[in-house]
Amino acid sequence: MRIIGGKLKGSTLLMPKNRHTRPLKDLARESIFNLLIHSNKFSFQLERSKILDLYSGTGSFGLECLSRGAESVFFVEEKKDVVSILEKNIKKLKLHSKTKIFSNDVFDTIKKNSFFNLKFDLIFCDPPFKDKNILKLLEYILNKNLLSKNGIIIMHRSRLSRDELDGNFKIVEERIYGISKIIFTKFLN
């Protein structure tokens, strides 16, 4: 696994030896950034943006954002062994000053409003494919007012998932990459 764009392009990332963590593949990551930067469906500026990376694993998405000019990334990851690798990746890339790690359950972290009342320009959600709580997660994000006015939520799901979104959300784009589905959504204002 490596950083594929920006000032840290080519930097390798440490990955866990177990198979419990499912990293976002380079092709899907590159496609996400191409859509964010070049599509007229989004009015998104990655530079100076604040990112929330939920179920962050070893941090490949959030670290890619920092490499491409994001201001800061807040990582939330529950698995202690994976958090250890995330910390090593941040140290290796010298990004301590732009990151904050919450080693806790995603729902508990959001419920406690651990983010200092920040609003995020982009929230990346990469729960385990078997997780069925995606609508609950979106409702928590909405109720805690975590997304900025023109903010985007990106979800990494199984291509077979049939997640039903309620009337508070609008799917802006959906793409399939192998076994993965990437969903770009916004809250309806």
Alpha carbon 181 to chain centroid, angstroms: 14
Residue 66: predicted pLDDT: 98
C-alpha pair distances (Å), 69 with each of 13, 52, 122, 164 = 18, 15, 13, 33
Residue 112: predicted pLDDT: 87
Residue 22: predicted pLDDT: 66
User: What count of residues does the chain have?
Assistant: 189
How does pLDDT run across 132-149, given as a tens digit for each residue? 888 899 999 999 999 998
Residue 119: predicted pLDDT: 94
Residue 83: predicted pLDDT: 95
Residue 189: predicted pLDDT: 66
Residue 19: predicted pLDDT: 63
Residue 116: predicted pLDDT: 82
Give the residue ranges of DSSP H helices in the chain: 26-38, 60-67, 80-93, 106-111, 134-143
CA distance 167 to 20: 33
How does pLDDT run across 64-100, given as a tens digit for each residue? 999 999 999 999 999 999 999 999 999 999 999 999 9
Residue 17: predicted pLDDT: 79
Residue 1, token pair as written in the block = 């696994």
CB atoms within 10 A of CB 27: 12
Alpha carbon 54 to chain centroid, angstroms: 6
Domains of the chain in sequence order: 26-187 (3.40.50.150)
Q: Which residue ranges in the chain fall short of pLDDT 70?
A: 18-22, 189
Is residue 165 within 8 A of residue 171, CB to CB? The reply is: yes
Edge-to-edge order in the sheet of strand 50-54: 99-102, 72-76, 50-54, 120-125, 147-158, 180-187, 169-177
Classified as helix, coil or strand, 179 is: coil
Q: Do the strands 180-187 and 169-177 form a parallel or antiparallel pair, or are they unpaired?
A: antiparallel
